Amino acid sequence: MARTPSPKKRIEELRSQVRTHNELYYGTDSPEVSDAEYDAMVRELRDLEAEHPEYVDAESPSETVGAAAFTTFDPVVHAVPMTSLDNAMDEDELRAWGDRVAKGVGDQPVRYVCELKIDGLAISIRYENGVMVQAATRGDGKVGEDVTANVATISSLPKTLVKTAPSVIEVRGEIYMSTAAFEKLKAEREAENVQRIANNRATLAVPVNPRNAGAGSLRQKDSTITAQRDLSLWSYQLGEVVGGPEFTSHDATLQFLGRLGFPVNPEITVVDSFEDVVAFCRKWQEHRHELGYEIDGAVVKVDDLGQREQLGFTSRAPRWAIAFKFPPEEKFTILKDIQISVGRTGRVTPFAVLEPVFVGGSTVGMATLHNRDQVAAKDVRPGDTVVVRKAGDVIPEVVGPVLSKRPKNSQQWEFPTTCPCNVGSTLVKLDDQADTRCVEPSCPFQRDQRIIYFASRGGMDIEGLGERTVFALSDAGLVADVGDLYSLTAEQLLTLEGFAEKGAQNLISGIQISRTRPLPKLLTALGIKHLGPAAADSLSSHFGTLDVIASASEEELSSVDGVGGVIAASIASWFSKVENINIIEKLRAANVEFGHVEISDAPQTLVGKAVVVTGTLANYSREGAEVAIKSRGGKSPGSVSAKTFAVVLGESPGASKVSKAEQLGIPVLDEAGFEVLLETGELPTN
């Protein structure tokens, strides 16, 4: 049994580990642990140092900021130190900080400035007599790196200021790579790796997230490379200022920065109560993925500069500010194996079998690898330490490997050439497609996945018919296709292991109830390639019954709004196959509804108009608003485009949709305006 190290030894171990990870994160932009793991190390170190003051050391990484500047760039001494922030990992810690602030300023009321915590690289940019003369990274807070030439390539950054600007002004902010710029860079690198593999050349590291990609881009020796990476800046603080106006609040400094031409984040909010601070943090934790850039928390600052003086600093951070960290969406873990799954259309998807890790609110043991090209481009291998990402409700994804931890005997993973099913058919990849497919229609994996899809919530929504039950039914030979579901009996189910009488009756009841699902549900559930719910809805409204759709020509099908040639060809092909006609006849014999289309008697005021609803409305649920629009002949897409007629704003709307509407000049309505639009089809006049 391993002995627990003494407090002194554990402190020394943690200090060594934190220093190493500081260098990797701040110095080379190649971290080997996730932010959450790093934060846990620092917290453990601080707790141990607090419990054992006899081991306190002023040089401990718990008392310092960032990492020392590297020799790649010239050192820059900051005229005003660039401090870090203390973290609040949950709401209780955030409120505890608020209590300390209130106690520190006595009975004075406190205003707070709430900002988004941009996941980028801190920067200080110095102007003298209106001209940018230097830009430096934070480094260890006292000495950073001179990256002036690279920062000068950022298009949103003013290179000269107005004549009335202070004679000296240092602007502090965060340089970041937008989501769009990151995806572009990542796609380019992956495409290059595919070519390198084809030419038997070593692959290049694929950037795993916008923060590391942005920081690496900023540290390029050649500034022309940085210029190609499309970096951006948000400014949020002043450093040294000579000859400038006197400020009494942080909010005033932000307004001043905006007037000088510096980009200031539009989501910054000033509030008068701490409950509003908490509400701000909750809102952006929920809506973080609606932005065009990555955030990993919120920053809360006391607005009054006089109160900041009262509160002061600790050895490493101001007492008047706190960073509220969102739950981590990236973790590092071991990729134990790479396997493949076969979907309902025969598409073969590689997936990672992982050492289970808690990320994005749940424990993840498997994650998608998308397709064979993605595995090759990322060059992930069994045994690798990998970055796993689970953003919101998105399926977990392996972002890439940590190359510095790759085992020495590592071998590239080879994509299988045959299907793992008992048919063992050859897997096919067409030259013009990214997907590899099993083209054997009798493949049992495809059969089972088609049945699972048919019974899913987006299809016929059959309660109780999940994956395990489908596998049991097909293994027992009771179900060969979706048409066989409607001839099942409770007696047959009771012969299967794990089925009791109540469960059997409930499943039979769920299958019977599904007979009356509306036509768009049935059409979607059939799993026709390329045909999704929106097109199924349009086809059902246009043709009325499944039989009419089945007999329609490609030309007739493609004329329906939202269908087009590719979907039309796929539908016509599906209904031309004997095995699919047999399924339809089984469904007909089971009295499954073939023509249940909701006919609205509402006035058709919105024909040809697309209306986007974002946020929470008082009198409509999200689905209710969509029904109200569609029942009047309109469309209710999930995103704003140039074709959008109007955007309806409820409480806590999506910031990206509001921003897009403003950019495109799309009219924005409140709920009262929405009611007018539904009734008249016109925008309200006032």
Mean pLDDT of 400-420: 89
Stretch among 145-159, 180-194, 306-320, 588-602 having the lowest mean pLDDT: 588-602
What is the share, in percent, of the chain residues with pLDDT greater than 90?
A: 45
What pLDDT band is residue 478 in, cutting at 50, 70 and 90?
very high
pLDDT of residue 151: 92
pLDDT of residue 202: 76
What is the share, in percent, of the chain residues with pLDDT greater than 70?
A: 94
Q: Is the model more confident about 117 or about 4?
A: 117
pLDDT of residue 27: 58
CATH code of the domain occupying 7-63: 1.10.287.610
Does position 484 have pLDDT exceeding 60, yes or no?
Answer: yes
pLDDT of residue 64: 61
- Tens of pLDDT, residue by residue over 215-230, are 888 878 888 888 888 8
pLDDT of residue 286: 84
Mean pLDDT of 478-489: 95
Mean pLDDT of 269-296: 91
pLDDT of residue 66: 52
Type of residue at 457: R
For 139, phi and psi rounded to 5 degrees?
60, -130
Write down the mean pLDDT value for the chain. Answer: 87
Q: What is the 3-state secondary structure (H, E, C) of 228-241?
A: HCCEEEEEEEEEEE
pLDDT of residue 92: 92
pLDDT of residue 599: 57
pLDDT of residue 306: 94
Name the residue among 569, 513, 460, 113 with its Cα closest to residue 298: 113
Q: Is the model more confident about 541 or about 430?
A: 541
Mean pLDDT of 194-207: 79
Kindly write down the DSSP assignment for every residue of 307-319, as one continuous string. Answer: HHHHH-B-SSSBT
pLDDT of residue 143: 87
Using DSSP's 3-state secondary structure scheme, residue 99 falls into helix
| Helix segments in 331-459, DSSP class H | 372-378, 444-455
What is d(CA 173, CA 258) in angstroms, rounded to the nearest whole number?
13
- Tens of pLDDT, residue by residue over 89-119, are 889 999 999 999 999 998 799 999 999 999 8
Does position 243 have pLDDT exceeding 50, yes or no?
Answer: yes
CATH code of the domain occupying 83-325: 3.30.470.30
Whether 609 is catalytic:
no
In our burial notation (b when 16+ CB lie closer than 10 A, e otherwise), range 243-277 reads: ebeeeebbbebbebbeebebbbbebbbebeebeeb
Q: Which residue in 117, 142, 186, 301 is the catalytic one?
A: 117
Does position 70 have pLDDT exceeding 50, yes or no?
Answer: no
Stretch among 56-65, 321-330, 607-616 having the lowest mean pLDDT: 56-65
Rounded (to 5) percent helix, strand, coil in the chain = 40, 20, 40
Does position 29 have pLDDT exceeding 60, yes or no?
Answer: no
What is d(CA 239, CA 80) in angstroms, rounded to the nearest whole number?
6
Q: Is the dihedral of CA 669, 672, 674, 677 positive or negative?
A: negative
What pLDDT band is residue 71 in, cutting at 50, 70 and 90?
very low
Tell me the β-bridge partners of 635: 610
- What CATH topology corresponds to 610-680? Rossmann fold (3.40.50)
Task: Return the domain boundaries, the chain.
Answer: 7-63, 83-325, 330-436, 444-589, 610-680
- Tens of pLDDT, residue by residue over 363-403, are 889 888 888 888 888 889 999 999 888 765 567 888 889 88
pLDDT of residue 25: 65
- Tens of pLDDT, residue by residue over 507-552, are 999 999 999 999 999 999 999 988 988 889 889 888 889 999 999 9
Does position 189 have pLDDT exceeding 60, yes or no?
Answer: yes
pTM comes to 0.55
- What CATH topology corresponds to 330-436? OB fold (Dihydrolipoamide Acetyltransferase, E2P) (2.40.50)
Does position 283 have pLDDT exceeding 50, yes or no?
Answer: yes
CB 69 within 8 A of CB 140: yes
- Options 3.40.50.300, 1.10.150.20, 1.10.4080.10, 1.10.760.10; CATH of 444-589: 1.10.150.20
What pLDDT band is residue 165 in, cutting at 50, 70 and 90?
very high
CB 567 within 8 A of CB 559: no
Mean pLDDT of 193-205: 79
